[in-house]
Amino acid sequence: MWAALRSRSSSLHPWKQGIAVPPGLNPTAFYSSSFTTATTNKAFLSLQEIEKVLNDVRADDVKVLSVPNVHADWADYVVLATGRSTWHVKNIAQALIHKAKQKQKGVDRKVLPSVEGQEEGKWIVIDSGKIIVHALDEKAREYYNLEGLWTTETSQKEPNLELEKAFVKIRPKNNSKKPVQKVA
Amino acid sequence: MASGFASKWSKVGRQLLGGVGNNFSGLLSTSHEITCGNPLFQQQRTFIQMRTVLKVVDNSGAKKVMCIQALKGKKGARLGDTIVASVKEAHPNGKVKKGKVVYGVVVRAAMQRGRCDGSEVKFDDNAVVLVDKQGQPIGTRVFGPVPHELRKKKHVKILTLAEHIA
């Protein structure tokens, strides 16, 4: 069954460009197919390499989040980086792609991470399988507020407790001289 | 509001009855089940085309849009495709106003879409996320489930803003 799956995926999704991760396959199947072709595991930049590249490019405010809850089954790490201008953001993307190309120097078929938003340098996403890098400029970072999105989702349970307390009935204080009329 | 999705693990198709009754009678015993499984009683969902009204599931300000054009595909747009739409209903103070022509990415479609492992995914409603011409989402949050198919279609930004990934 795995052989059929592999052949089907290779025929439907040619590996010439981008990470064509078939959405139905789970990560274990993905790795099993990648071990048959020894080249593909070189394509993915490790976390240390990405950090090094971002330091070289001098990206601001680099944050690495391991997203356990919502995005668990399709990514392991999410890296956020800010660029000072659109040119800087494009440069961050270019540097990461260059690093990926360098890593696969001897290979005849290179697998590059997929890039979105390249021509407009406001928000560029570099998707390399397990690690997703978001390069934003400062305005976009403030506008989309991705840290707020991902840190509030872990603390979604907490507001509920306060909500239960909020609906507790509080007896109004009776400061008038009239005695309280008892409701029969 | 439950907008769940059903994924069928076998590509049942529409050619169930009509001559293949021998195999079928073994599977379904009562007439009620036959009625429900009968393709004549199931609604055949189709593409998103001109005049289709879709729900907007981000916080860009619009509520309902009507599709003007499906950008790719002769018959119409499917899950994960981009459409051109006109805003028909909007929140009073939002980023988009009624009557504006916007681009959108279909994130939920009533028509089933096949996945590469043979399963199909379909939703209860047609929903769209508004983007600009370059593919940047106009809103900052996406509500409801979104499918994996967006990753292949290079809409990872919408996936990151989503609250639940189907």
User: Do B122 and B5 contact (CB within 8 A), yes or no?
Assistant: yes
Residue B91 tokens read as: 């929140």
Measured between beta carbons, the chain B residues lying within 8 angstroms of A122 are 136
Among B156, B161, B162, select the one facing A127 at the smallest CB separation.
B156
Asked if A23's CB is within 8 angstroms of B151's CB, the reply is: yes
Q: How far apart are CA A4 and CA A2, in angstroms?
A: 5
**Could you say which residues from 86 to 125 on chain B have a Cβ atom under 8 Å away from some Cβ of chain A?**
115-119
pLDDT confidence of residue A27? 44
DSSP per residue over B59-112, as a string?
Answer: SSSEEEEEEEEESS-SS-B-TT-EEEEEEEEE-SSSSS-TT-EEEEEEEE-SS-
Q: What ipTM was assigned to the predicted interfaces of this complex?
A: 0.70
Residues A122-174: tens digit of each pLDDT: 899 998 878 888 999 888 888 988 888 877 655 554 444 455 555 566 677 77
Tell whether B7 is within 8 A of chain A (Cβ): no
Asked if B154's CB is within 8 angstroms of A22's CB, the reply is: no
Average pLDDT of the residues in A1-5: 43
User: Helix or strand or coil: residue A121?
Assistant: coil
The CA distance from A145 to the nearest CA of chain B, in Å, is 8
CA-only gyration radius of chain B, Å? 18
The CA distance from B5 to the nearest CA of chain A, in Å, is 15
The residue ranking higher by pLDDT, B120 or A28, is B120
Instruction: Give the residue from B79, B10, B12, B82 showing the smallest Cα distance to B46.
Output: B79
Tell whether A154 is within 8 A of chain B (Cβ): no
Asked if A114's CB is within 8 angstroms of B157's CB, the reply is: no
Question: Is it the case that residue A33 has pLDDT exceeding 60?
Answer: no
- Beta bridge partners of residue A77, listed in sequence order: A66, A131
User: Do A114 and A19 contact (CB within 8 A), yes or no?
Assistant: yes
What single letter denotes the amino acid at residue B19? G
Question: Is it the case that residue A32 has pLDDT exceeding 50?
Answer: no
Measured between beta carbons, the chain B residues lying within 8 angstroms of A18 are 154
Quote the distance between the C-alpha of residue A168 and its chain's center.
39
Average pLDDT of the residues in B9-32: 48
**Percentage of chain A modeled with pLDDT above 70:** 60
DSSP per residue over A60-98, as a string?
Answer: EEEEEEE--STTTTT-SEEEEEEESSHHHHHHHHHHHHH
The CA distance from A123 to the nearest CA of chain B, in Å, is 8
Tell whether A67 is within 8 A of chain B (Cβ): no
CB atoms closer than 10 angstroms to residue B57: 25
Measured between beta carbons, the chain A residues lying within 8 angstroms of B161 are 144, 149
Direct distance between the N- and C-terminal alpha carbons of chain B, in angstroms, rounded to an integer: 16
Task: For residue A77, give Cα distances in angstroms to A64, B6, B26.
Answer: 7, 29, 49
Asked if A143's CB is within 8 angstroms of B140's CB, the reply is: yes
Residues B36-75: tens digit of each pLDDT: 778 788 888 899 999 999 999 999 999 999 999 999 999 9
Quote the distance between the C-alpha of residue B51 and its chain's center.
15
Listed in sequence order, the residues at least 6 apart from B33 whose beta carbon sits closer than 8 Å to its beta carbon are none
pLDDT band at A23 (very low <50, low <70, confident <90, very high): very low
Residue B142 tokens read as: 């996406």
User: Do B128 and B85 contact (CB within 8 A), yes or no?
Assistant: yes
Return the minimum-mean-pLDDT range out of A74-78, A115-119, A128-132, B30-34.
B30-34
DSSP per residue over B3-39, as a string?
Answer: --EEEESS---S--SSS-HHHHHHH--SHHHHHHH-T
Among A25, A78, A145, select the one facing B117 at the smallest CB separation.
A25
The residue ranking higher by pLDDT, A93 or A24, is A93
